[in-house]
Amino acid sequence: NAGVTQTPKFQVLKTGQSMTLQCAQDMNHEYMSWYRQDPGMGLRLIHYSVGAGITDQGEVPNGYNVSRSTTEDFPLRLLSAAPSQTSVYFCASSYWPGGVTDTQYFGPGTRLTVL
């Protein structure tokens, strides 16, 4: 199994550009999520999905869109990039969210810089 994969690893955008961060998992996990990690802020949940066709907002959803057309893929779209979106983005998946025996598997991250 490849686990959770993310592309690209690094990206530089100009203010106002749009782009999609890709996330895929091959573990047949129902739950997928996107986090951003900023220095001194910890990981913050952007959006999550509990299955294909179902998405919901997390703590910091503004400026981001998601969709879940398949179990495997959960792309994150930046509609109009802003410098405040400079961050490291992690995608994660799990079989069932929040259970005592649950494990969140994270992708390697995408380092995004918005100029």
**With contact defined as beta carbons under 8 Å apart, do 3 and 27 qualify?**
yes
In 8-62 the beta strands, taken as DSSP E runs, fall at 10-13, 19-25, 31-38, 42-51, 54-57
Residue 30-49 contact track with another protein, rule CB under 8 A, x = bound: -x-x-x----xxxxxx--x-
Tokens encoding 57: 């907002």
Q: Is residue 108 close enough to count as binding another protein by CB under 8 A?
A: yes
Nearer to another protein, 19 or 45 (CB): 45
- Token look-up 């782009």 returns 19
Give yes or no for a cis peptide into 8 (omega within 30° of 0). Answer: yes
Nearer to another protein, 2 or 98 (CB): 98
With CB under 8 A as the rule, give the number of residues binding another protein.
29
Q: Is residue 26 close enough to count as binding another protein by CB under 8 A?
A: no
Range 60-89, binding another protein (CB under 8 A): none
Full DSSP string of 59-70: S--TTEEE--SS
Those residues whose C-beta lies under 8 Å from the C-beta of residue 98, and which sit 6 or more positions away, are none
Least separation in angstroms between residue 46's CB and another protein is: 10
Nearer to another protein, 19 or 50 (CB): 50
Q: Which residues bind another protein (CB under 8 A)?
A: 31, 33, 35, 40-45, 48, 50, 56-59, 90, 96-104, 106-109
